[in-house]
Structure 1
Amino acid sequence: MRSKRLLLPLLAILTGACSKDSNNNSPIIPYVPVNTQVSINSQLYPDLRQDGGYAYLPEGYKGIIVVRQNAGSYLAFERTCTYDPTNNCVLEVDPSRLYITDPCCGSQFNLQGQVIGGPAISALVQYRTSLVASTLYISN
């Protein structure tokens, strides 16, 4: 019985330590509930109709970047750099449309949210996306 008492707290600690995922639950970027939807056919988001197209949304901590991978796949990222979330900058898609950049620290991320240039070392916080007909649902 004594071993069960010791085992349960240990399991709780280990489970909690393993539940943090740098792509979804960064401990330094404040958690803001996100539950929004976008019509990909809307005139407000014409770039979401082409591969590599993107749109900025106001939800999230500093906003969201939605990137179209292909006709059936969209990714959504927090517009906060993982290097210094406290700065006043928001991430932007480079005019080349090849990567996302932080104009303050110069960190660069590919359109899948992975670091391609420092000083950032962690991937962008990613939101869940689900495409149903022409509506893209975004949540965390």
Structure 2
Amino acid sequence: MANRRWPILLPLLAILASSCQDNGSSPGIPNVPVNTQLNVNSQLYPDLRQDGGFAYLPEGYKGIIVVRQNAGSYLAFERSCSYDPTNTCKLEVDQSRLFIVDPCCGSQFNLKGQVTGGPAVIGLRQYRTSLVASTLYISN
């Protein structure tokens, strides 16, 4: 009896497994090529000299937020909300400097790009970062 169920269960399991794959992108956000760099010690980015500091860059779909985790670790996120990438707003670091917010829908994200308040349920699109001496390379 159990052997008769396998022909039905196997295709169903294959469909479920393939639908769970994550391609690393947030739905609806256009994939714009990013390949930029910045000097983290530059006078243009004074906030990047302290942990939790940030800077806005014009690259990407709506721009990029660069966040300093510590002296050797920086994260870069797309400024488009994963909830509604077509709205006219750009994500901003809150005045408290504790989280990122979408002023249109109110979604909130921690400084690691994870959702902390909805309506968004998917984290921010993250770009690759690589720090060599004082040059931060950002790409997708």
**Under TM normalisation by the shorter chain, which class is it?**
0.7 to 0.9
Q: Give the Å deviation of 1:57.
A: 0.1
Q: Does 1:109 align with 2:109?
A: yes
Q: Give the Å deviation of 1:27.
A: 3.1
The one-character-per-residue Cα deviations of 1:29-81 (angstroms, maximum 9, x if unpaired) are 00000000000011100000100000000000000000000000000000000
Hey, what does 2:93 align to over in structure 1? 93
Q: How many residues align?
A: 126
CA contact (8 A) 1:20 1:26 kept: no
Q: Give the Å deviation of 1:14.
A: 8.9
Q: Does 1:122 align with 2:126?
A: no
Q: Give the Å deviation of 1:26.
A: 1.9
Structure 1 spans left out of the alignment, 5+ residues = 1-12
TM-score (norm 1): 0.85
Aligned CA distance change for structure 1 residues 14 and 89 (closer, same or farther; 3 Å): same
Aligned CA distance change for structure 1 residues 132 and 16 (closer, same or farther; 3 Å): farther
Q: Give the Å deviation of 1:100.
A: 0.1
Hey, what does 1:64 align to over in structure 2? 64
Whole-Å Cα distance in 1 between the matches of residues 106 and 64 of structure 2? 19
Q: Which has the larger radius of gyration?
A: 2
RMSD of aligned Cα (Å): 1.6
CA contact (8 A) 2:27 2:82 kept: no
SS at match of 2:48: helix
Aligned sequence identity (%) = 79
Structure 2 spans left out of the alignment, 5+ residues = 1-14
Hey, what does 1:36 align to over in structure 2? 36
Hey, what does 2:81 align to over in structure 1? 81
Q: Give the Å deviation of 1:18.
A: 5.7
- The amino acid that maps onto 1:20 is D
Hey, what does 1:20 align to over in structure 2? 22
SS at match of 2:90: coil
Q: Give the Å deviation of 1:16.
A: 7.0
Whole-Å Cα distance in 2 between the matches of residues 41 and 14 of structure 1? 47
Aligned CA distance change for structure 1 residues 85 and 49 (closer, same or farther; 3 Å): same
